[in-house]
């Protein structure tokens, strides 16, 4: 992956400013130096996300711009791997796509995915309906004449929004109508485990098959002091929600 860095060279002399054209000076994920008019600027870049930042000295400024998706070039053929995260932990709407630049006629292209069940025929450049997880795709090109080259990419499809169909009510009124910690649709996860902790990390409640009929928190007769508490909902298969509850008098 190559990182385009815009070098903006500012001279404060009258009202004249000079700029240097964009140039590729480093691959992503390293700390490097660049010299501008005898002045040295040290910068550090990232991999896999947009970066906007700058470093400067008295007369020069270096600004980092956008980092491209996973990119490589095999014998002059560009290979770019795009991906999208799932919208919710309980959905399968992530995807991974491999795009190739123009390649010579007669070139054979194969895609080896891990797990192999994603495309056992090795002819899929895009996989849809993915859940969160780590996947690998090896793109193999066999050029006319038999020359072979390959590029392997590891892609992480992540979940940043929790479980969509679980709605957690984080306000409890001890003397009101909403005196129970309520989780809508928890019955859809029969193996779910719910844990409640106080602000010192002491576990006050833990139970499977949570409901608001006979298995809820606060437990009937339990003395609960108004304040902030914390919960963990382990819905199974690695789907976990962590947050807080506010208990009112």
Give pLDDT tens digits for 229-239: 999 999 876 67
Q: How far is the C-alpha of 245 from the C-alpha of 198, rounded, in Å?
A: 10
Q: How far is the C-alpha of 99 from the C-alpha of 30, rounded, in Å?
A: 26
What pLDDT shows up at residue 162?
Answer: 66
Give pLDDT tens digits for 96-132: 999 999 999 999 999 999 999 999 999 999 999 998 8
**Please, are residues 43 and 55 in contact by the beta-carbon 8 Å criterion?**
yes
Q: How far is the C-alpha of 137 from the C-alpha of 198, rounded, in Å?
A: 45
Q: How far is the C-alpha of 247 from the C-alpha of 244, rounded, in Å?
A: 10
Bridge-based pairing state of the strands 171-173 and 239-248: parallel
**Structural domains present in the chain:** 2-67 (no CATH), 70-157 (2.60.40), 167-248 (2.60.40)
* 145 phi and psi angles, rounded to 5 deg: 100, -10
What pLDDT shows up at residue 70?
Answer: 63
- How crowded is the C-beta side of 112, counted as CA atoms within 13 Å? 7
**Shortest CA distance to 241 belongs to which of 190, 187, 186?**
186
By the 10 Å C-beta count (0-12 exposed, 13-18 middle, 19+ buried), 160 is classed as exposed
Q: How far is the C-alpha of 234 from the C-alpha of 231, rounded, in Å?
A: 10
Tens place of pLDDT per residue across the chain (249 aa): 334 333 333 333 333 333 333 433 333 444 555 554 555 544 444 444 333 333 444 433 333 333 335 666 777 899 999 999 888 777 788 999 999 999 999 999 999 999 999 999 999 999 999 988 999 999 999 999 999 999 999 999 987 666 777 888 889 998 877 899 999 888 878 778 999 999 999 999 999 989 888 999 999 888 899 999 999 999 876 678 889 999 998
**Please, are residues 152 and 113 in contact by the beta-carbon 8 Å criterion?**
no
Tell me the whole-structure pTM to 2 decimals. Answer: 0.47
């Amino acid at each position: 992956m190559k990182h385009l860095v815009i070098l903006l060279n500012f001279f404060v002399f009258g009202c004249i400013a000079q700029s240097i054209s964009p140039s590729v000076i480093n691959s992503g994920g390293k700390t490097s130096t660049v010299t501008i008019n005898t002045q040295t600027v040290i910068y550090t870049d990232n991999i896999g996300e947009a970066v906007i930042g700058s470093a400067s000295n008295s007369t020069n400024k270096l600004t980092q711009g956008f980092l491209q998706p996973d990119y490589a070039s095999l014998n002059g053929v560009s290979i770019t791997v795009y991906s999208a995260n799932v919208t919710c932990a309980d959905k399968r709407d992530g995807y991974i796509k491999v795009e190739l630049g123009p390649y010579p006629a007669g070139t054979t292209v194969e895609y080896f995915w891990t797990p192999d069940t994603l495309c056992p025929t090795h002819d899929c450049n895009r996989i849809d309906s993915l859940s969160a997880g780590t996947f690998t795709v090896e793109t193999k090109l066999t050029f006319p004449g038999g020359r072979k080259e390959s590029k392997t990419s590891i892609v992480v499809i992540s979940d940043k929004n929790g479980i969509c169909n679980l709605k957690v009510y984080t306000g409890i009124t001890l003397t009101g109508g909403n005196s129970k910690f309520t989780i809508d649709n928890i019955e859809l996860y029969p193996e779910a485990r719910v844990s409640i902790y106080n602000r010192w990390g002491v576990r006050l409640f833990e139970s499977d098959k949570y409901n608001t009929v006979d298995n809820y928190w606060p437990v009937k007769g339990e003395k609960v002091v108004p304040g902030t508490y914390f919960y963990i909902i382990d819905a199974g298969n690695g789907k976990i929600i962590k947050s807080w509850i506010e208990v009112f008098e």
